[in-house]
Amino acid sequence: MSRDGLTKMTKIEVVVGGADVPAVREVFTSAGATGFTGVSGVSGLGHHGYHQGRLLFNEQDALALLITVVPEERAGALLAGLRPLLDASPGVMFVSDTYVSRPDYFQ
């Protein structure tokens, strides 16, 4: 499936506390994601109220956003790993279709 010549893939975005970033990263890589983007110090209003964004001298207790894109056939494994992780700790996950121009980067 393509849109304007692009390749359809699955994008998974996860917001977790800094201390949980290594676990999410590990699930990403073990489920076959070839890379990810991390944004530390994200802020926002959520289920538990307002969360402070960037803390000047503490990266561990600030929230982080991790984004990865995988071929659809790998998304199932990744979600299977992420769901128990998020069931056991605060955090949110967004899963959506996306389109990429260089599919070989994500295979």
**List of residues contacting other proteins (CB under 8 A):** 17, 20, 22-23, 26-27, 30-32, 48-52, 55-61, 74, 76-78, 80-85, 88-90
Question: Most distant CA pair in the chain: distance in Å?
Answer: 45
Nearest to 31 by CA among 67, 66, 73, 91: 73
Give the H/E segment covering residue 74: helix 72-87
The set of residues, in sequence order, having a beta carbon less than 8 Å from that of 29 and lying 6+ positions away, is none
- Spatial distance between the Cα atoms of 107 and 102, rounded to a whole number of angstroms: 10
| Complex with other proteins: residue 13 or 59, whichever CB lies closer | 59
In whole angstroms, the minimum distance from the beta carbon of 76 to other proteins comes to 6
In whole angstroms, the minimum distance from the beta carbon of 100 to other proteins comes to 21
In whole angstroms, the minimum distance from the beta carbon of 104 to other proteins comes to 20
| Complex with other proteins: residue 17 or 103, whichever CB lies closer | 17
| Complex with other proteins: residue 6 or 40, whichever CB lies closer | 40
